[in-house]
Structure 1
């Protein structure tokens, strides 16, 4: 087993990858703020198995096995969770993007990513100290 295959490091890597994917989705929401009929999307928070540290399956039934496959209707992709928009947030054009909410989410997502990246780096530093490389 490689040092980087430890459960804690795997969870932090998964969390950072999730934040990267979420940032892309939030940017798409902002970019499509003026598109008629566009509904904002967000990713479901990843969950981890406490015993193994591996990402727990969501049990949705269907998964994409290839990026070229078409997602099921109403599905926004792997791990996607369409955000529910209340009626008063939808403009007459049918667009439900609230730029203030999206920018707040983007800022929170960025700080959470930086925290996970910092924890990952510090964990590697501790491991290096433990094996006498630093």
Structure 2
């Protein structure tokens, strides 16, 4: 039995993957803050619920039936299971760029705090497992 068989660790792995992808999308937005016509994007909020009110964690394997199915596209720099979506337009400069650096920094800070919290929870959970598997009196 591996850690991925425990639903808590599977959910934390998915959450950390999501946060990593979100950080990449935000970094791409910041890097293109001076690019004319660039529209920022963000990921949909993370959710473990896949149906009904009970969270269900299921591993989904990707089956490649044609080499063209997973071909990279020129417009997508982020790869992974999470798809970027366009952010709400709050400010657009004269050159058509709508990246607001203050908003991106707030998102980056929130993503970092969420990542730190997930890592801390992961470490505490591993500590509890180590404690439970210790020989009594040692």
Is the TM-score greater than 0.5?
A: yes
Aligned counterparts of 2:110 and 2:119: Cα–Cα separation in 1: 14
Offset at 1:4?
Answer: 3.7
Aligned counterparts of 1:111 and 1:98: Cα–Cα separation in 2: 20
Aligned CA distance change for structure 1 residues 19 and 79 (closer, same or farther; 3 Å): same
* Structure 2 runs not aligned, ≥5 long: 60-67
Q: Which residue of 2 aligns with 1:116?
A: 118
Offset at 1:51?
Answer: 4.2
Offset at 1:119?
Answer: 0.4
Q: Which residue of 2 aligns with 1:97?
A: 99
Q: How does 1:1-134 map to 2 (within 5 A)?
A: 1-49=1-49, 50-54=54-58, 66=70, 68-70=71-73, 78-86=82-90, 89-132=91-134
Partner SS state of residue 26, structure 2: helix
Offset at 1:84?
Answer: 2.0
**Deviations for 1:49-84, whole angstroms, at most 9, x for unmatched residues?**
3343348xxxxxxxx952x2439x99x864222112
Which entry has the higher C-alpha Rg, 1 or 2?
Answer: 2
* Structure 1 runs not aligned, ≥5 long: 56-63
* TM-score normalised over the length of structure 2: 0.76
Aligned CA distance change for structure 1 residues 118 and 54 (closer, same or farther; 3 Å): farther
* TM-score normalised over the length of structure 1: 0.78
Q: How much is the aligned-residue C-alpha RMSD, in angstroms?
A: 2.7
Partner SS state of residue 81, structure 1: strand
**Deviations for 1:85-122, whole angstroms, at most 9, x for unmatched residues?**
14xx1111110000001011101110110000110111
